[in-house]
Structure 1
Amino acid sequence: MEYISPENVLKFLDLVHRLKHSSRRGWELCQVNNHEQIASHMYAMGIMTFLLGNDSQLDRFKCLQLALVHDLAECIVGDITPHDNISEEKKHEMEDEAMKELTSYVGSEIGSLIYNLYKEYEAKETPEAKFVKDLDRFDMLFTAAHYESRDQTPKKLQEFFDATEGKFNHPYIKKLVETLEQRRKKEIVSIENSK
């Protein structure tokens, strides 16, 4: 078993713990009060991997791992949004360098595991990575709908729904999105009628 110095583990944890206090910038830019942190989003995605039944063809544990590492780079580079005017290529380059730095603190065995999971998610070629990307988008929509309902601001976060339209692939996630959109429409009507 590879020895990992406790000092390096603490460096790794110092970086990862930043995610507990780092805002999801999309909500910040839309001036949503009391919005989630990056770690909250990753936690929600992790919980959603349990929605995969035992009869699923997907590896639930792999999906959980992918959900937990997919935004780890943001502990170093921050939550880069399209509003930051950074190209997708540059964003991926920055995040890749951040993941290399982050995983260097936990030794080659654990570091390689985390880095390879991150690369699998980024490539979006495996069924599990595609499913987790759908979870990522769905969690964003679910959270947007929650904020609109909570704050009584119908359609305030419509841009998030527009940006993901037609981008879901997994049949179950598609059904969740459809159900969420139906619920959101009812909420919008209810809010508008109460004014």
Structure 2
Amino acid sequence: MAAVKGCQFSASLSGSCYVMRPRLHRFSVKVPFFDGPLRSRLVSLCCHNPNPDSFIVDQTVPLSKNPTHLPDDCPQASASSPSSAIDFLTLCHRLKTTKRKGWINHGIKGPESIADHMYRMALMALIAGDLPGVNRERCIKIAIVHDIAEAIVGDITPSDGVPKAEKSRLEQAALNEMCEILGGGIRAEELKELWEEYENNSSLEANLVKDFDKVEMILQALEYETEHGKVLDEFYLSTAGKIQTEIGKSWAAEIHARRSSRLKNKLN
């Protein structure tokens, strides 16, 4: 039982976070309850008079089933410890220094890193036009996370001969290790959820980001062809017919048109 400016209320806290509101509210408070050192509960209430009937349960969120949808100020949603965060970010430094193997195999000097690739994909998600039912913020998050396991396993390409299922298994194990380094908790679970969403192509957002992955690659191919005088046909061929969204198709078409114009001018 807790009292708030003359209001008394009680709530069952059996593994849930209750959000309550009055019919006519004037102020709100959030009251944390603890039934153990690692098990916290948060009740958010609004009140305008001491009548307990004025409260209505608005939403119930089981903490154990929906950890990534807790309010950010809920104790259960607190960030990783500074030590875990720095350990995780130090590991992610490898994404900045590991070069994309496809370009190395084609003799590109000073090729882009994994982080370079993910960063421009995130920019693509940021500037893309709005699409019905697509959450742009989630697209940005997926772009930042989709290759994060390569901090441990490196950039595995088709030329390495690793079966797709084995590549996925290796990356899943690496992701789990990274989330342990992060210290677990809600942010680690969000990383896993975003990565798996992309891996399984299980949402409109993942569908779009997969297109950005292909479009970013052929744009980089065009830039390397221009800078180094290379012909990198296989990168364009590997994406042919595989781009699914209208944004992806329109951007890819623009890249192909610029390449065709460049090759024509070179011949002339």
Note whether the superposition's TM-score is higher than 0.5: yes
Is 53-62 or 122-131 further displaced after alignment? 53-62
- The CA deviation at 1:56 is 4.4
Measured in 2, the distance between the counterparts of 1:36 and 1:4 equals 30
The structure with higher relative contact order (CA 8 Å, sep 6+) is 1
The equivalent residue for 2:92 is 16
- The CA deviation at 1:53 is 2.7
Structure-to-structure mapping, 1:66-145, within 5 angstroms: 66-106=142-182, 107-145=184-222
The equivalent residue for 1:186 is 261
Counterpart residue identity of residue 10, structure 1: I
Counterpart residue identity of residue 12, structure 1: F
Contact 1:152-1:191 within 8 A present in 2 as well: no
Aligned to 1:71, the other structure's residue is in SS state: coil
Measured in 2, the distance between the counterparts of 1:50 and 1:35 equals 24
Q: Which has the larger radius of gyration?
A: 2
Measured in 1, the distance between the counterparts of 2:91 and 2:266 equals 41
Is 56-65 or 162-171 further displaced after alignment? 56-65
Structure having the larger proportion of residues in strand: 2
Q: Aligned residue pairs: how many?
A: 191
Q: Give % identity.
A: 35
For normalisation by structure 2, the TM-score amounts to 0.69
Measured in 1, the distance between the counterparts of 2:79 and 2:119 equals 29
Is 62-71 or 170-179 further displaced after alignment? 170-179
Counterpart residue identity of residue 129, structure 2: G
- Relative to structure 1, the CA distance from residue 55 to residue 159 in structure 2 (aligned partners, 3 Å threshold; closer, same or farther) is closer
The equivalent residue for 1:169 is 244
Structure having the larger proportion of residues in helix: 1
In the alignment, which of 221, 231, 234 is matched to residue 159 of structure 1? 234
Contact 1:144-1:160 within 8 A present in 2 as well: yes
What is the Cα-based RMSD across aligned positions, in Å?
1.3
Is 173-182 or 36-45 further displaced after alignment? 173-182
- Relative to structure 1, the CA distance from residue 138 to residue 6 in structure 2 (aligned partners, 3 Å threshold; closer, same or farther) is same
Counterpart residue identity of residue 194, structure 2: L
- The CA deviation at 1:57 is 3.1
Q: Which residues of structure 2 form unaligned runs of 5+?
A: 1-74
- The CA deviation at 1:48 is 0.5
